[in-house]
Structure 1
Amino acid sequence: MTTWEYLTTPLIVHNTAAILNNWGKQGWELVQVVQGPEGGLVAYLKRPVGESGGTANTGLDAAADAARRFED
């Protein structure tokens, strides 16, 4: 049975493709985009557990890295 890990990330409207392409290169598949509680867009992504190279916190590390890149 496949087990999944999930990630949510905010989307910046003028940079949506770059953000999603970044996650896609890391093996994440877009599941859904919804409007967040404060009006912005939020992407929900998933990937099979184990696709990250074996570390349990890779998704969290990738989220932190992406947030740092797109804050500037």
Structure 2
Amino acid sequence: MTIWEYATVPLLSHATKQILDTWGEDGWELVTVIPGPNPENVVAYMKREVK
């Protein structure tokens, strides 16, 4: 059975690609993006397999 770890990541509108690329390089996969606490920000939910 695969074991996953999860993270929530605030995404800044001016650096979204850079933030996601950095997390992706560390093995994280984007699961979903939802609205954040204010209109300018969104929150990414990430997962990666625990080794």
Normalised to the residue count of structure 2, the TM-score between the two structures is 0.91
Runs of 4+ deviating beyond 6 Å: none
Structure-2 residue corresponding to 1:45: 46
Larger C-alpha radius of gyration, 1 or 2?
1
- Greater share of strand residues, 1 or 2? 2
Letter in 2 for 1:49: V
Question: Percent same amino acid among aligned pairs?
Answer: 56
Larger RCO, structures 1/2 (Cα 8 Å, 6+ apart)? 2
Q: What does the per-residue CA deviation read over 1:3-40, in whole Å, with 9 as the maximum and x for residues that have no partner?
A: 10000010010110000000000000000010012332
**For this pair of structures, how many residues does the alignment match?**
50
Give the CA RMSD over aligned residues. 0.8
